[in-house]
Amino acid sequence: MEELIEPISLFKQTNFSNTIWWKVKINISGYQNETENNLVTEIVKNRIFRLIYPCFYQSRKKLKRILVQFYEDGYICWIDLDNLYIEKFDATNTFIEFDEMYIQKKIPSILNWIKDQSKLKNKYLWGGTLGPDFDCSGLIQTAFLNHKIYIPRDSYQIKSFCRHLFNFTEKKYSLKKGDILFFGNKKQCDHVGIYKGDGLYYHCSGIDYGRNGIGVDTLEETNDKISLYYQSKLISAGRIHRSYRWDKNIR
């Protein structure tokens, strides 16, 4: 039986290096800060991270949480040390460069995966990525991650990462299946969906203005109040054409 070693003991062996990568062996939660329980993301087992805090000179402090950055999307959050199970990971030559043609071939499978998730009993969960409960960007990121395509975690980050297609300044658009739709205001994107074809898109929306879970809405003329609300918030469309690289992409 494999011997479990406390994470702090493993970190001490490397002097709390921020160049060493670690693999998470269980599902864990990611938090907004060091003390409060504000969930910002969920981390599925086998995700890879490096240590941001503490460093060697700060390691004498009794720690309950550590600040980490994840390999697949560059996301930074706090995770609990209690019951954390990790192993050292060699990230050398592990990145696979997928071109746009490969990604486009995966779009039907990605959309089918989202369709399957929508049939499960689910509700909107801020920070949700593990399912069946997701937030808007968590659903989109996990759909691509399950097909080994890495994209950023938050809506505004995905918007910056995508190839820009056009702004929704007029009721004219030319979309392909799998294109990403961005919603919000002039200052910032705060919601995201994925185009499924025929004027329809999947997204995971909340209680106040949405469907409290994964649903389908339309870009076409409609009397549906929820679809109309999101039509009023449409900013732009983009396309996933590459995989995220933590060492080359801005977070």
Residue-wise pLDDT for 107-146, tens only, equals 999 999 999 999 999 999 999 999 999 999 999 999 999 9
Query: Domain boundary at 89, 114, 131, which?
Result: 89
User: What pLDDT was estimated at residue 3?
Assistant: 55
Percentage of residues in the chain having pLDDT higher than 90: 83
pTM of the model: 0.94
Percentage of residues in the chain having pLDDT higher than 70: 95
In this structure, the answer to whether residues 131 and 67 fall within a common structural domain is no
Residue-wise pLDDT for 163-215, tens only, equals 999 999 876 678 999 999 999 987 899 999 999 999 999 999 999 999 999 99
Q: At what angle do helices 100-119 and 136-145 cross, to 10 degrees?
A: 120
- CA nearest 137: which of 197, 62, 190? 190
Longest Cα–Cα distance in the chain = 62
Query: Domain boundary at 31, 60, 89, which?
Result: 89
2 in any annotated domain: no
Quick one: CA dihedral 210, 211, 216, 220, positive or negative? negative
Pull the structure tokens for residue 190.
Answer: 């705060």
SS3 label, residue 194: strand
Which domain does 58 fall in, by range? 7-89
CA distances from 209 to 2, 163, 171, 191 (A): 49, 28, 22, 12
Number of domains in the chain: 2
- CA nearest 211: which of 139, 158, 157, 141? 139
User: What pLDDT was estimated at residue 169?
Assistant: 82
Residue-wise pLDDT for 227-250, tens only, equals 999 999 999 999 999 999 877 654
User: What pLDDT was estimated at residue 251?
Assistant: 43
In this structure, the answer to whether residues 45 and 155 fall within a common structural domain is no
Q: How far apart are CA 157 and CA 174, in angstroms?
A: 23
Residue-wise pLDDT for 85-111, tens only, equals 999 999 887 777 789 999 999 999 999
In this structure, the answer to whether residues 205 and 128 fall within a common structural domain is yes
1 in any annotated domain: no
153 close to 96: Cβ distance less than 8 angstroms: no
Phi and psi torsions of 82, nearest 5°:
-60, 130
Report the CATH number at residue 29.
2.30.30.40
DSSP characters over 97-124: ---HHHHHHHHHHHHHHHHHHHHS---B
Single-letter amino acid code for the residue at 217: D
In this structure, the answer to whether residues 76 and 108 fall within a common structural domain is no
Within the chain, residue ranges assigned H as helices are: 7-13, 100-119, 136-145, 155-161, 225-233
Pull the structure tokens for residue 133.
Answer: 């409960």
Q: How far apart are the first and last CA of the chain?
A: 39
List all residues 6 or more positions away from 207 whose beta carbon is below 8 Å from its beta carbon: 124
Query: Domain boundary at 89, 120, 146, which?
Result: 89
Residue-wise pLDDT for 25-52, tens only, equals 999 999 999 999 999 999 999 999 999 9
In this structure, the answer to whether residues 109 and 230 fall within a common structural domain is yes
